[in-house]
Structure 1
Amino acid sequence: MAKYLISFPSGAMQVTPEELEQASIDSHEVVRAAKAAGVWVFGGGIDEDVPPVRVHADGSITEDTYEQTRRLEGGYTVIDVPTRAEAEDWARKIAVACRCPQELRVFMHDPES
Structure 2
Amino acid sequence: MQKIREFLDVKIVTKIQRNKPNYIELAYEVRTTKKSSCDILINYLTNFPLFSSKYLDYFNWSEFHHIRISKQYKSLGGTLNLIFLKNSMNTKRTQFNWDSLNRFYC
**Do Structure 1 and Structure 2 share a fold, with TM-score over 0.5?**
no
The TM-score with structure 1 as length reference comes to: 0.26
Which structure has the highest helix share of the two? Answer: 2
**Bigger relative contact order, structure 1 or 2 (CA pairs below 8 A, ≥6 apart):** 1
Q: Whose strand proportion is higher, 1 or 2?
A: 1
